[in-house]
Structure 1
Amino acid sequence: MKKIKVIEMGGTISGYGKSRLDLKDYISGIYCGEDFLKAMPEIDEIADVSFESFLRVSSTKINSDHWIQLRQKVMSCLFQEDFDGIIITHGTNTLEESAYFLHLTVPTEKPIIFVGAQRPFTALSSDAHLNLLNAIRVAASDEAQNKGVLVLLNDEISSAREVTKTNTYRVEAFQSGQFGYLGFIDPDNKVQFYRQPTRKHTVNSEFSSLDFTELPDVEIVFSYAGATGHLIDHITESKKYSGIITAGTGAGLISPSEIEALKRATDNGLFIVRSSRVGNGRVVPIDSYKDYNFISGDNLLPQKARILLMLSLLKYNSLRDIQTVFDDY
């Protein structure tokens, strides 16, 4: 029987509501491993599962310091305590970002699964119980080896690179865009994969061997009709940031005023990555931007591009090198 560690970080999956119909004003982080084991004795039939409370911080409060602490915790569980797989219970608002950070920075082929819930533990038709049970099934599955960090909600298995939250309350909130899910868990309780990630991750990621205690600061700027570029100038003038991700319109396009502001930013040493606000499709180099030192963000969502740029800046200070990273990851 596989030995699985559940690292509890709070979130809706551990939430307590004042009634079974409280789906919005509940308090997160109330329930823990003992409560899950009591509510779901089926856990013991799947794997030898240990629970540990860690950080228990709201997902809206997560920052890069928490990511670094979580990375160290996961590596300790895998390499010192020799667990066969890791599950991280996490609030859904920034779950995809924490998952992508570990996808790039933990050197293991063992399964790491992020799981959350859209309805609290106490709710009528809560998804908390089955989501956790299915996450344990995935973590204990041989088929989940060497697929990077995975995200499991609503019986659907996604890669940390592509998955994103697409709905405020619906249980089918987590989607993987045009690429689709990696696999599913159906009523026969079998973990079934249909594809696997092809971009570099975990043991094949150059960032998984890095030793670091902090990350460079990178901001995201959302483009829109008539965008002035004032926020970009403020970021540049603050001298607190190493880079900017633009969530551009359409194919990663930005307004004329933003272009001028971004030119001033690059002149001041900031790295600029173009991404798109639309959610699907690649952002590629285009002739009208060839005279500007912009990095093309491929198909990464802005919040994922930010993480990749932060890690890239730990190793590189060259536009060409960072562009190669975005092409490979």
Structure 2
Amino acid sequence: MKKVLVINTGGTIAMSVDEAEGVKPLDEEAVTKILPHLHQLAEVKMMNYVNLPSPHMTPAVMNQLRQLIEQETATHEYDGVVVTHGTDTLEETAYFLDLTLSLTLPVVVTGAMRSSNELGADGPVNLISAVRTAIDPASSGKGVLVVFNDEIHAARHVTKTHTSNVATFQSPQYGPIGTISKKHVHYHHAPLDREHYSIAHANANIPLCKAVAGMDPRWLQFLLDDAIDGVVIEALGLGNLPPAIVPVLAQLIEKGTPIVMVSRCFNGQVQDVYDYEGGGKKLKQLGVIFSNGLNGQKARLKLMVTLQTTNDFKQLQEMFEH
């Protein structure tokens, strides 16, 4: 049989509902109970690594998880790796692993929207689907994958789109790269290329700010007062900002602080088109780095990773165009 490593990091898939209808990590064996079903598919080694609600996840823990995966796959032969994770930050951990793991064997991230003892709990079927995906030969070389609700998504594009629906994970503009039926794993397209960056840590101080109408530059004063390594801004529309905050950005750039801009829209990407104060064309001339379709939370992680390779604005712009 094929061999799969399942690493549990917590989240709703490992939680239960108590009598007061609160969802808590009450049952340490919630995921382990699914093992008999998994053993019908593969030889599974299950590691209960951490038990964190996903809002407790940090880039430092993501990096430790990366190191664990690299150590385990270097010392044991596996056909695939599955990570169970809370859904709130699942897309961030999946993308971080996608950027920093150099493995060709499948790495699949999954979780649940309903706790283990709720009616219609989706954790067991998601985990079974994730293991099936991990052992499928067609999953190799496609980067880190997210499996949820019988769909396979690329880590770069997937995002949580609903607070409670089991079909919460979607890939705006791109859609899933595959689906899972009762008997088969089907791929209908795949990412054209992959990025990989070698890193030593994940502790950069990079705030994420969202643009809104009538922004007051005083809201961003902390960016000048604190020691930050970079900043990501979710801009308006095609990549435009209220003119009042542009002087703050100019000061940051003068200090050598990289500013990466994404759109707060969940479809499309920023472009240097509008040539007015605060418009994308002038922001590009100022030195703002334009990202190629990433959302804010993923652009933050990518900047955290790429800054360990270079802090040259031009090189960073080339990396964010990738």
Assess same fold via TM > 0.5.
yes
- Give the secondary-structure state (helix, strand or coil) at the position aligned to 1:231: helix
Contact 2:100-2:199 at 8 Å conserved across structures: no
Q: Which residue of 2 aligns with 1:251?
A: 238
| 1:263 CA displacement | 0.9
Q: Which residue of 2 aligns with 1:271?
A: 258
Matched residue count? 314
Q: Report whether the alignment pairs 1:233 with 2:230.
A: no
C-alpha RMSD of matched pairs (Å):
1.5
Q: Report whether the alignment pairs 1:28 with 2:25.
A: yes
Q: Over residues 80-123 of structure 1, what are the superposed CA-to-partner deviations in whole Å (9 max), with x where a residue is unaligned?
A: 12222111000000000000000011111000000010001100
Q: Report whether the alignment pairs 1:59 with 2:46.
A: no
| 1:280 CA displacement | 1.0
Partner of residue 296 from structure 2, selected from 302, 305, 311: 302
| 1:211 CA displacement | 4.5
Contact 1:16-1:31 at 8 Å conserved across structures: no
Q: Which residue of 2 aligns with 1:15?
A: 15
Distance across 2 between alignment mates of 1:192 and 1:163: 18
Distance across 1 between alignment mates of 2:178 and 2:124: 19
Q: Over residues 18-45 of structure 1, what are the superposed CA-to-partner deviations in whole Å (9 max), with x where a residue is unaligned?
A: 26x94xx2113734343222xxx33222
TM-score (norm 1): 0.92
Q: Percent identity?
A: 32
**Structure 1: stretches of 5+ with no match in the other structure:** none
Q: Which residue of 2 aligns with 1:218?
A: 206
Distance across 1 between alignment mates of 2:50 and 2:217: 37
Moved over 4 A (4+): none
- Which residues of 2 match residues 49-88 of structure 1 at below 5 A? 49-88=44-83
Partner of residue 150 from structure 1, selected from 123, 130, 145: 145
| 1:247 CA displacement | 0.6
Partner of residue 193 from structure 1, selected from 183, 187, 210: 187
| 1:214 CA displacement | 3.8
In structure 2, do the counterparts of structure 1 residues 261 and 211 end up closer, same or farther at CA, with 3 Å as the change threshold?
closer
| 1:189 CA displacement | 2.7
Q: Over residues 199-227 of structure 1, what are the superposed CA-to-partner deviations in whole Å (9 max), with x where a residue is unaligned?
A: 423xxx2x0xx240343211100111111
In structure 2, do the counterparts of structure 1 residues 211 and 232 end up closer, same or farther at CA, with 3 Å as the change threshold?
same
Q: Which residue of 1 aligns with 2:277?
A: none
- Give the secondary-structure state (helix, strand or coil) at the position aligned to 1:30: coil
Distance across 2 between alignment mates of 1:159 and 1:303: 16
Distance across 2 between alignment mates of 1:297 and 1:310: 14
Partner of residue 305 from structure 2, selected from 311, 318, 322: 311
Distance across 1 between alignment mates of 2:87 and 2:103: 24
Contact 1:109-1:145 at 8 Å conserved across structures: yes
Q: Report whether the alignment pairs 1:131 with 2:119.
A: no
Distance across 1 between alignment mates of 2:212 and 2:310: 31
Q: Report whether the alignment pairs 1:281 with 2:268.
A: yes
Distance across 2 between alignment mates of 1:58 and 1:294: 35
Contact 2:54-2:90 at 8 Å conserved across structures: yes
**Structure 2: stretches of 5+ with no match in the other structure:** 274-280
| 1:251 CA displacement | 1.2
| 1:323 CA displacement | 0.6
